Structure 1
Amino acid sequence: MSDIDFSRLRISKADGVATITIDNPPVNVLDVALMSDMRSYLLSVRDDPDTRVLVFQSADPEFFIAHVDMTLIDEPHAFDDFIRDTPEGLNPFQAFGELLREQPQVSIVKLAGLARGGGAEFVAAADMVFAAEEHAGLAQCEALMGITPGGGATQYLSSRMTRGRSLEVILGANLVDATTAESYGWINRALPAVELDGFVERLARNIAALPQGVVAAAKKAVPAVDLREGFRREHDAWAGLFERPAAEKLIRGGLKAGAQTRQGERQLEALLRAL
């Protein structure tokens, strides 16, 4: 097993399975550094025939990816480098999810803790998601910040669940437990926490051990839905709201009230609703 050094990721590989451990304390916010590391790694492994499965997990048992870094509201040029490499018709956050969705390897998220906003969008972009019944949770909490999701959630959710449930997730803006997420189609399966590691490891190794060409053929035969037109509509809706005063007020208020701290993130929806 070999390790590759990144500032926000720990990578290990064995038997065709790469395990990517997200480690961006205190709560794994999706900041520029984490997005840069993830993008660099995904591009570097794209043409590696010896890597057949990517398993994403968190070094923090409470938080998978909290959400996009809210302090970026004060850094308008933070994503200039991303924009230069972003495919036409996508914003940088949508391109981030699509990079994962278009990987030739099978991508599996092992969700032991919480994923909100951009973190939940990353989860939904993966091929498969398995979550701990007792501890995992997902939320698209953007509405509580005066905006709608802008990194793919409106399209990913619509391809996984009914329109009514998608609107419930986006406008209800509540934390959804793993069992409910499974019933909605948001994730593949909710498992007891003590079984999660073993289940994902067995599945990943079994897939990686398949004869050469099987994974590629399966991903080609079960194609990803073309969401490009939907991404355009999503970006226009998100950008239009982001420019309004309410979004800035709520995002700054959230940070002042404790968002992106461990305590604040444990009850983020309540914190934002209280503003």
Structure 2
Amino acid sequence: MDHDSHQTLRVIRKDGVAHVTIDNPPVNLLGVALMTDLRDLLTALAADDAVRVIVFDSADPDFFLAHVDMTATPEALAALAAGLPEGVNVFQALGEQLRHQPQVTIVKLAGKARGGGAEFVVAADMAFAAIGRAGLGQVEALMGIVPGGGATQYLAERIGRNRALEVVLGGDLFDVETAERYGWVNRAVPADELDDVVDRLARHIAALPDGVVAAVKHAIAPRDLTEGLVRENDAWAGLVFRPATAELMGAGLTHGAQTRDGEHDLESLFRGLARSVI
């Protein structure tokens, strides 16, 4: 069965596995349309007992998810914000929905994922990444803010506080061999083996006897990070609306952020701007 009602996603369901391809040119920005499609799809699939595994990949070989769209306004995000608990923002809500999805969620990472894109990767149950092609990074500090979509909590839980501090404050793009050693991804594999590794695992999980997937996800439940997410949202909100932040992000857009050329080395772009703007 195909789900074809989404502007930014291509979905094929087969043998208990939903294969979700992110397709939001030019660089798979995590904007309002894509966040809306992801949340709507996850909600629909949560009620679909025939689907046991969701595999996410990208139509773009260079970018899995670039980061949150820096041009998104509070007004544009208002529909996504409706009904959220106090102290939780729309970006955190997406990560929490993914973390609590009843199906097993797997990211097939063959390109770059930064900021909100990297948060999506770490919110999934598992991630497998292509050596030499994939990369992960939290670039927010270089923009004058902190991650606001769960990264401060998800990373600390997955890779430890010391490495989470390195990732968030260092602002570097990490190769996937390092990400594997840190525990950020399950495994770094040769690029030409990525499809086989992930698809084989997804098929095997989907073919398990009835009740096994639900029982395992109940037993190995995600931690309750409510208090930490409130702290993160407070820290993010205290920085994102400053004039200096708007100036730095505006300069980034002027100099190529959110274009294919600029996104290939976004870290260097913002490091150069920080010296001249702040």
Which TM-score tier does this pair reach, normalised by the shorter chain? over 0.9
Cα deviation code 1:61-113 (max 9, x no counterpart): 000000000112xx231111111132333111100100111110000000000
Name the SS of the counterpart of 1:77 in structure 2.
helix
Cα deviation code 1:119-167 (max 9, x no counterpart): 0000010000000011100000000100000110000000101211100
CA distance in 1, matches of 2:160, 2:85: 28
Q: 2:30 touches 2:65 (CA, 8 Å); kept in 1?
A: yes
CA distance in 1, matches of 2:99, 2:142: 27
CA distance in 1, matches of 2:254, 2:87: 34
- Paired residues for 1:1-275 under 5 Å: 2-72=2-72, 75-275=73-273
Cα deviation code 1:195-252 (max 9, x no counterpart): 0000100000000000111001001111101100000100111111112222111110
Which consecutive residues of structure 2, in runs of 5 or more, have no partner in the other structure? 274-278
CA distance in 2, matches of 1:261, 1:107: 29
Aligned residue type for 1:240:
G
Aligned residue type for 1:59:
A
CA distance in 1, matches of 2:9, 2:85: 25
Cα deviation code 1:157-189 (max 9, x no counterpart): 001012111000000000001000011111110
Structure 1 moving runs of 4+ over 4 Å: none
Name the SS of the counterpart of 1:215 in structure 2.
helix
Give the % identical residues: 62
Q: TM-score when scaled to structure 2? A: 0.96
Higher alpha-carbon deviation: 234-243 or 169-178 = 234-243
CA distance in 1, matches of 2:135, 2:166: 15
Q: 1:123 touches 1:129 (CA, 8 Å); kept in 2?
A: yes
Q: TM-score when scaled to structure 1? A: 0.97
CA distance in 1, matches of 2:244, 2:66: 22
Q: 1:87 touches 1:95 (CA, 8 Å); kept in 2?
A: no
Cα deviation code 1:9-68 (max 9, x no counterpart): 000011000000000000000000000111111111111110000000000000000000
How many pairs align?
Answer: 273
Rate the CA distance shift 1:90–1:76 in 2: closer, same or farther, 3 A.
closer
**Aligned Cα RMSD in Å?**
0.9
Aligned residue type for 1:254:
G
